[in-house]
Structure 1
């Protein structure tokens, strides 16, 4: 079983659909805790480390072989909880960051120019830090610029999914000088379907679930209760 930690219920059908398409039969256990993001915004991502343990402890006891955190704001902290939980804990955006730094610079550039599109200001720091980490790991030279889409998060919180995705797509279309565009939050993924840009646009759900599914199926099921 793969456990998924979400800070919004909108992710549940998205990952169920991807599972049905790519990993039929893989059991998923969804844990939704919106307050984790609320607290992380107010007190910083490190403040929710213990809450992540608490939110996922029962799923691990029930047999979760791995955990995927789908929230980019707290994903970096979630990764550090693997030892406490006793199973691999992955952040959904790491495979996307790996792919972004692997994109070759265009033209005469020697550094890959990455533009991060975010709907929430608190996501920018963790996402940029992740990209820088993967660039250093791979020995690649990157320049990262970030844009927070004005008003997008308000639309998301209001349940205006169409308006939210439209705002994200417009921000993507406005980028005219980059080697790759990164959609910082998993909830943005569908916006890529509404763009015509020639610049590669990367999102996290598909590669994130791929990595987590591989981690889950490579470990024997655990049951301690």
Structure 2
């Protein structure tokens, strides 16, 4: 069984649909803790580390063979819980970051939430070092997008992000930093590749789930593209 740690309930049907499409038979357990993101935005991800570890332990006690954290802001502290938990813990955006550095050296990160920018840039730079590549990363905070998300306007949220992607210049690859941004990749018309995290993140987590206990940061084989 694969446990998913979410900070918004909107992710539950998204990952259920991806499972049904690409990983039939994979048992998912969803843990939603909206307060973790709210607190991390104010005090930083480290401030919620103890509670994240508790959620990971809850997942393991419930039978999870691996845990996927779908929140980019707290993904780093979630992965750090793996050693104590004894099962692989993967942040959903790590496979996307690995794909981004493989796709080009000029990466533009789009985020709707400012607290996501720094962790995402750090992750891309980490993956570049792991892959022996040199990358330049620039960031764009999509103005007004998160307000649409909080107001329950998914169409406006996705439209603003797609427009921001289409306005990007000088990039070899565009990264959508938050899992909730994924639909914007289909709406954008830019010729630059636009990467999102849910599909490759779930695929990598499913492989880790099959493999069982392992490292906090998956090896390159676990992050390879595909289902």
Q: Report the TM-score, using the length of structure 1 for normalisation.
A: 0.92
The equivalent residue for 1:140 is 133
- Contact kept, 8 Å, 1:31 with 1:56, in 2: the verdict is no
Q: Does 2:112 correspond to 1:151?
A: no
2:36 is the counterpart of 1:53: no
1:26, distance to aligned residue in structure 2 (A): 0.5
Q: Equivalent residue of 1:102, what SS?
A: helix
Structure 1 unaligned regions, length at least 5: 105-111, 221-225
Q: Secondary structure at the match of 2:182?
A: helix
Taking the aligned partners of 2:83 and 2:107, their CA distance within structure 1 comes to: 32
The 3-state SS of whatever aligns with 1:207 is: helix
Superposed CA deviations along residues 33-52 of structure 1, whole A, max 9, x for unmatched, are 00000111111101111101
State the partner residue of 1:39.
39
8 Å Cα contact 2:111/2:178 also seen in 1: yes
Aligned residue runs from structure 1 range 71-220, under 5 A: 71-104=71-104, 112-219=105-212
Paired residue secondary structure (2:103): coil
**Radius of gyration: which is bigger?**
1
**RMSD over equivalenced CA pairs, Å:** 1.0
Deviation string for 1:132-181 (max 9, x for gaps)?
Answer: 11111111111100000011111111111000000000000101221000
d(CA) in 2 for partners of 1:65, 1:195: 36
Q: Which consecutive residues of structure 2, in runs of 5 or more, have no partner in the other structure? A: 214-227
Q: TM-score, normalised by structure 2?
A: 0.92
Contact 1:2 1:26 in 2 (8 A): yes
Deviation at 1:57, TM superposition (A): 2.3
Aligned twin of 1:109: none
2:3 corresponding residue in structure 1: 3
